[in-house]
Structure 1
Amino acid sequence: MVQFDNSYARLPDRFFTKIAPEMAPAPEMVLWNAGLAELLGVSDWDAEICAGNVIPDGADPLAQVYAGHQFGGFSPQLGDGRAVLLGEVLSDAGRFDIHLKGAGRTPYSRNGDGRAWVGPVLREFIVSEFMAAAGVPTTRALAAVRTGGRVQRERGYPGAVLVRVAASHIRVGTFQFFTARGDNDAVRALTEHVRARHYPDASDTLDLYAKIVAAQARLIAKWMGLGFVHGVMNTDNMTVSGETIDYGPCAFIDGYSPKACYSSIDQHGRYAYEQQPSIAHWNLAQLGSCFVPQMEEELGGEHQAVEALTEVLNSFPELYQTAWVAEFGRKLGLADATREDVPLIQGLLGLMAEHGADFTNTFAGLRDGTARDWFLDRAAFDHWAEGWTARRSANWEEIVARANPALIPRTHRIEQAIQASLEGDDSLAHRLAETLAKPFTLKDEDRDLTFPPTKDEIVPQTFCGT
């Protein structure tokens, strides 16, 4: 029997609204994550439960409220406008939120329909499970379910629900919601909840903040190492647990460009690939401001509080750079990368940008010698490779194999899977979900999934699905 223990529901009522999912007319399972289901102890769940039609014993459904900076502008109230937190499952692996995304209207829907359509649901299932397999802290996907209803966007689409699993859904924007209202009691309660749930060894508020900052530095370095572009790094899309959340207009780089930006709503490249570290730093500054009142109490004054929090915030660039060097060092087969290796790393990235070399295939090709094939100027690559050969570790092939996936969720393949699903064929979605769950293993029959898009397959923009 599934054991629920809904700690978030025990917070004060102003943190959420109790609400059940809307009924789905004819739920149908599309993708099911059997391994995750076993981990959570929910192997017997069916489409009716996953769509929200049947509430499991012990669950306590609610919609969370939060605020957030969206493209730099502050929205004082957002919240779960199309999702319901079913509850928190306890398993041998820990405590996990079970979130039904696309479950219908809530008080925070802001005139939206509260639903999702099958395209974004398939994308989030496939991408989030790839990220988990690639070793990136992330929310995960238990199930993708068609509802049997229609969702109106630019036209009618099949409705769907994603069953999302997370360490929690507490965001920077959750803190901002209460800070904007001067509700310091709520911020203190949330702080203690986060410390107990995610950072039980944090000695005080400042130490908690430091651990959140460090977790984000490691996370963004992981993103950069995969050529991942989140697309919408608003403060309501940054978890305090350090997990990647909300795979809306996300994409992975094909031909490398540090300015890669795919989101249809990011007109000025605020969340472009190269901007992600600085945006994470900015978001963490917003979180730090939420801690000022309680830090004043703990340290005895506003000046002391701001100074201490600023010192922690200013540690982010160094933490990130250290994580970035280690990440890209491993991609080059360096067991002990240091700052002295930055010119070597940047040298390859510079060549890749100049030639538009495929990000994933270049790094994966270092092991078998095919990396140079992605460069028009082979002599320039060979010159760089001389320094790399002299520097790489004795067991470099093993390190490179573990650090560089052979397969990524290429945007054009996901788009093909979505279009096929709209025509009633889920086979490509199943294939991508299965294959990308083991991204470091390439079978001959899956080699086509390593190919970048042809000119007519390029997907220049991605969309959030709302």
Structure 2
Amino acid sequence: MTENKAMTDAGWKFDNSYARLPQSFSTRVDPTPVRSPSLAVLNGPLAEALGLNAEALRGEEGIAALAGNRAPSGAEPIAQAYAGHQFGHFTMLGDGRAILLGEQIAPSGARFDIQLKGSGRTPYSRGGDGRAALGPMLREYIISEAMHGLGIPTTRSLAVVATGEPVYRETELPGAILTRVAASHLRIGTFQYVSAWQGAEALRTLADYALARHDPDAAAEDDRYLALFRRVIARQAELIARWQLVGFVHGVMNTDNMSIAGETIDYGPCAFLDVYDPATVFSSIDAHGRYAYGNQPHIGGWNLARLAEAMLPLFDPDEERAIGLAEEALSAYSELYRGHWLSGMRAKLGLLGEEADDETLIAELLELMQRHRADYTNTFVALSSEVPAGIGLFSTTDFARWQASWEERLARQSASREDVRRAMRARNPSVIPRNHRVEEALRAAVEEDDYGVMHRLLGVLAVPYAYSPEQAEYAAPPPSSDRPYRTFCGT
């Protein structure tokens, strides 16, 4: 290979297994070229893990591929069809502003979807322009990489390219395209679409594909479709528990935004708790709190029930028996979620083993945090260190009583207090992507073309359990305000 060839070869190694499924599952469509693309941000470590040449991606041909101006070798661009319950209402959807280039085969042998988000209109655009604004795409980059740093399963962001073209929402905004990397884009809504409009054989084809891609060890089981459903239940239960443990609010848990691979996907109006309150809603369109922080576990179960409805023909030819099998499988969700959450909360509080009163101890702390409007993340950071006196929650007599019970519980453990604190710091992040810090980074990038603020924030969020002095300024809660923080979906 010549030096010039090595410089320009990005290392794309595509397969296109989803494109080989029945034509009704997707539509062949090319991204719409943009006027003058420029690279806003590139995820070098992720590129390397995918077997890609980061320097080549920064070059003219690499940027052209990330902008959708030139399909990489081996790509077969498609827009996927799916349906979904949006705020409880069922509708036909599909990739209205995203195009799947194909599946990159990484050096590890793992397969990852490479999707361009904001790459132009598709047959599923429903009157939309198929484009995305720079701010929301940078936001997804920041939050998805923060979730990766926290160790929570997530789609990731390879790059954001500025298009050099405006998009029009409430105002004129700079356009952008995000390259999203996912284990797959199989959604609950994918099964709903095929079940509702494509029939039993197509549904079986989709389920077999999902098994081969995500649960090959379950494919040989006699009840392989129930096995698939149980795996999805288990992944969702663990994922949502992990959201709750760090105070993450997804914001739009429609069935089309829930991946059967157990990854966090579709970062729209998401945000993290500052003050602990289960009723917290950030999304400007969630007027009734359907997707409030405290409601996320319930919605997870509701969404899984919709998946069960879609998969019923696969469970048993007799509908009544199929419903019974689905209900039996689904009944495990609540206990699975509770187990993951309770285990995680014990770890956050340094509680080793299990005692009958642990749930009461945890519930009492959360009630105190809500009543005194305590910062969720920083309360656990303080408990993982030396609890400060005379500050908000920690100065109350209620907290003193709770702390005495907690200390008694810790005293019954053989581990030293320092070992307990060390273990707690490994489960309690010292920093999260604070909403005001994310907004600060977006303003600097979008309005001033200054990406330094964003890169510094990303550097801190990459190691959220470091407890380093450099992180202190990023751990501070936002200034007090009478106005609640609001997020928007960006479409």
TM-score, normalised on structure 2? 0.91
Match of 2:259 among 217, 234, 239: 239
Work out whether residues 194 and 203 of structure 2, in 8 Å CA contact, stay in contact via their aligned partners in 1.
Answer: yes
Distance 1:296 1:327 in 2: 36
Match of 2:403 among 385, 392, 414: 385
Counterpart mapping for 1:155-166 below 5 A: 155-166=171-182
Counterpart mapping for 1:36-185 below 5 A: 36-43=46-53, 44-45=56-57, 46-75=62-91, 77-93=92-108, 94-181=110-197, 183-185=199-201
Q: Alignment partner of 2:478: what SS?
A: coil
Work out whether residues 99 and 164 of structure 1, in 8 Å CA contact, stay in contact via their aligned partners in 2.
Answer: yes
Distance 2:113 2:375 in 1: 36
The corresponding residue for 1:359 is 376
CA shift in 2, pair 1:285/1:339, >3 Å: farther
Q: Alignment partner of 1:108: what SS?
A: coil
The corresponding residue for 1:28 is 38
Per the TM alignment, residue 379 of structure 1 is displaced from its structure 2 partner at its CA by 2.4
Distance 1:276 1:266 in 2: 13
Q: Structure 2 counterpart of 1:16, which letter?
A: S
Work out whether residues 117 and 177 of structure 2, in 8 Å CA contact, stay in contact via their aligned partners in 1.
Answer: yes
Gaps of 5+ in 1: none
Distance 2:271 2:428 in 1: 17
Q: Structure 1 counterpart of 2:27, which letter?
A: T
CA shift in 2, pair 1:270/1:6, >3 Å: same
Q: Structure 2 counterpart of 1:161, which letter?
A: I
Distance 1:161 1:365 in 2: 40
Deviations 1:388-428 (A, max 9, x none): 22223523112211101111111111112112222222221
**Mean Cα displacement is larger for which, 416-425 or 403-412?**
416-425
Work out whether residues 217 and 323 of structure 1, in 8 Å CA contact, stay in contact via their aligned partners in 2.
Answer: yes
Distance 1:78 1:102 in 2: 16
Q: Alignment partner of 1:160: what SS?
A: strand
Per the TM alignment, residue 443 of structure 1 is displaced from its structure 2 partner at its CA by 3.3
Distance 1:127 1:332 in 2: 25
Work out whether residues 279 and 293 of structure 2, in 8 Å CA contact, stay in contact via their aligned partners in 1.
Answer: yes
**Mean Cα displacement is larger for which, 420-429 or 398-407?**
420-429
Q: Structure 2 counterpart of 1:82, which letter?
A: R
**Mean Cα displacement is larger for which, 129-138 or 39-48?**
39-48
Distance 2:313 2:162 in 1: 46
The corresponding residue for 1:409 is 433
- Does residue 429 (structure 1) correspond to residue 454 (structure 2)? The answer is yes
Q: Alignment partner of 2:216: what SS?
A: coil
CA shift in 2, pair 1:334/1:161, >3 Å: same
CA shift in 2, pair 1:267/1:128, >3 Å: same
Gaps of 5+ in 2: 1-10
Match of 1:17 among 10, 27, 30: 27
Per the TM alignment, residue 182 of structure 1 is displaced from its structure 2 partner at its CA by 5.4
CA shift in 2, pair 1:458/1:445, >3 Å: farther
CA shift in 2, pair 1:49/1:241, >3 Å: same
- Does residue 213 (structure 1) correspond to residue 233 (structure 2)? The answer is yes
The corresponding residue for 1:449 is 474
Q: Alignment partner of 1:232: what SS?
A: coil
Q: Structure 1 counterpart of 2:469, which letter?
A: D
Q: Alignment partner of 1:85: what SS?
A: strand
Deviations 1:271-305 (A, max 9, x none): 001100110000000000111112223xxx22221
Work out whether residues 362 and 374 of structure 1, in 8 Å CA contact, stay in contact via their aligned partners in 2.
Answer: no
Per the TM alignment, residue 339 of structure 1 is displaced from its structure 2 partner at its CA by 5.8
CA shift in 2, pair 1:188/1:367, >3 Å: same
The corresponding residue for 1:258 is 278
Counterpart mapping for 1:181-196 below 5 A: 181=197, 183-196=199-212
Q: Structure 2 counterpart of 1:381, which letter?
A: F
Distance 1:302 1:23 in 2: 48
Work out whether residues 387 and 394 of structure 2, in 8 Å CA contact, stay in contact via their aligned partners in 1.
Answer: no
Q: Structure 1 counterpart of 2:365, which letter?
A: L
CA shift in 2, pair 1:97/1:444, >3 Å: same
Per the TM alignment, residue 445 of structure 1 is displaced from its structure 2 partner at its CA by 3.3
Distance 1:38 1:356 in 2: 43
Work out whether residues 104 and 114 of structure 2, in 8 Å CA contact, stay in contact via their aligned partners in 1.
Answer: yes
Counterpart mapping for 1:314-353 below 5 A: 314-337=331-354, 340-353=357-370
Work out whether residues 116 and 178 of structure 2, in 8 Å CA contact, stay in contact via their aligned partners in 1.
Answer: yes
Larger Rg, first or second structure (1 or 2): 2
TM-score, normalised on structure 1? 0.96
RMSD between superposed Cα atoms in Å: 1.5
Distance 2:249 2:371 in 1: 19
Q: Structure 2 counterpart of 1:28, which letter?
A: S
Distance 1:238 1:100 in 2: 18
* Identity between Structure 1 and Structure 2 (%): 48
